[in-house]
Amino acid sequence: MIEIKNLYKKFGKLTVLDGLDLTINKGGIFAILGPNGSGKTTLIKSILGMVVPNKGEILLDTKSVLKKWDYRNNLNYLPQIANFPANLSVSELIAMVKNLRDKPSKEEELIQLFGLTPFLKKKLGNLSGGTKQKVNLVLTFMFDSDLIILDEPTTGLDPIALIYLKELINKEKEKGKTILITTHIMSLVDEIADEIVFLLDGKIYFKGSVAALKQQTKQAHLEHAIANLISKQYA
């Protein structure tokens, strides 16, 4: 599904991605993990075409996507921060996104799932952070796409909405979708991820299952396993 070869990205003198190689097979939930500054966001934005690498290749279904844009019609992206136009209502924003993307949508069932009906006529600038995140989730999941990228999807969600989100992610997985998640919530990773991709200083230091990482680090809890991985690299 996704093949990344020898990917380099610098911002000035700072090397953010350092010859990164990564293959992600089609279907499943993949958690992209690493401390702040590890290269997670740059990697995700490179896949999205929002960052152009200095060197390397990115292939989706064996086709290069560098400096191409049409492939993005077959992926869904949830940004970490829901920066919406404050003067639009929720329903106006959903209608605008539907007009921009020529694909069938299923926003009604998602609006019901996340309890957004009372907020449809409200201006986005007047909503709480958690409600904005629910709108963010509706916009992300209302189109049917093979690749779904979620950047910190749990931000601001109440416990019930979090349950619905996890159910939604697992339903997409059952349909054979490929889902990439970046998150600092290790309990979410432990619960739903099929594989972990752990980045540090722009390189991949681990790729495999949660169970394999725990076994490798001899740690029972994922947080401790990740901490062990980091401490060994900086020892």
pLDDT value, residue 234? 65
pTM of the model: 0.93
pLDDT confidence bin for 235, thresholds 50/70/90: low
Mean pLDDT calculated for residue range 123-152: 95
DSSP states of 141-193: HSB--SEEEEESTTTT--HHHHHHHHHHHHHHHHTT-EEEEE-S-HHHHHHH-
Q: Which domains does the chain have, with CATH numbers?
A: 2-234 (3.40.50.300)
pLDDT digits (tens, 9 = 90+) for 59-93: 998 999 988 888 988 999 999 887 899 999 999 99
pLDDT digits (tens, 9 = 90+) for 153-162: 999 999 999 9
pLDDT value, residue 209? 95
